[in-house]
Structure 1
């Protein structure tokens, strides 16, 4: 059972088309993320009435270790930087740890 999640909210860049944003997420970013230690699954959600898209990454093990593994993967280039993602405002990223059973 996952012990934590990373939640990311982002939107397509206005100068790129939506399909390129979604293609990057599905075919590049999520497969790369699931190669990072601790990240075991990802679900993408779309807004019903405007707003940001959301990705919920499930984490097994210590979320702090997964966060550190992701930082290393980003700095080494194993996980690519966002393509077609609005940077103003930037994506929001939150790590949450499960409490209780």
Structure 2
């Protein structure tokens, strides 16, 4: 039996914040509109959303993180995302956004 090779997958980490006092409106837009639009772009396979744990201090730099699984280069996916012309919400703090591409290092480590 021949194993079919899958295209390499990488991760794109997005760290974001809402504009002050606009958290609820931001979350609705980000979860229900923005992430589905991103997942329609070529190469974006999946997204997992995260928020800071409630016990973390308010001084944490970013309140939300999204990890996008991408087929192929995460750097190319980031460039595609930035050039896609997706609408941005005024409730997103653009000045604090961080996007970092990651590549796997080695094989998965299992127990």
Please tell me the TM-score bracket, short chain as reference: 0.7 to 0.9
Distance across 2 between alignment mates of 1:64 and 1:86: 22
Q: Within 1, Cα distance between the matches of 2:74 and 2:105?
A: 12
Identify the residue that residue 87 of structure 1 maps to in structure 2: 94
Pairs aligned (count): 95
Distance 1:32 1:57 in 2: 12
Q: CA RMSD, aligned part only?
A: 2.0
- Assess if the C-alpha contact under 8 Å between 1:38 and 1:65 holds in 2: no
Aligned counterparts of 1:5 and 1:71: Cα–Cα separation in 2:
16
Tell me the SS of whatever aligns to 2:20.
coil
Alignment gaps of 5+ in structure 2: 1-5
**Pair 1:99 & 2:105 matched:** yes
> Do structure 1's residue 65 and structure 2's residue 81 form an aligned pair?
no
The 5 A counterparts of 1:22-61 are: 22-48=27-53, 49=56, 50=58, 51=60, 52=62, 53-61=64-72
SS of residue paired to 2:94? coil
- The structure with the largest alpha-carbon Rg is 2
Larger mean Cα displacement after TM superposition, 18-27 or 48-57: 48-57
Tell me, in whole angstroms, the C-alpha distance in 1 between the residues paired with 2:30 and 2:52: 16
Q: Which ranges in structure 1 are unaligned for 5 or more consecutive residues?
A: none
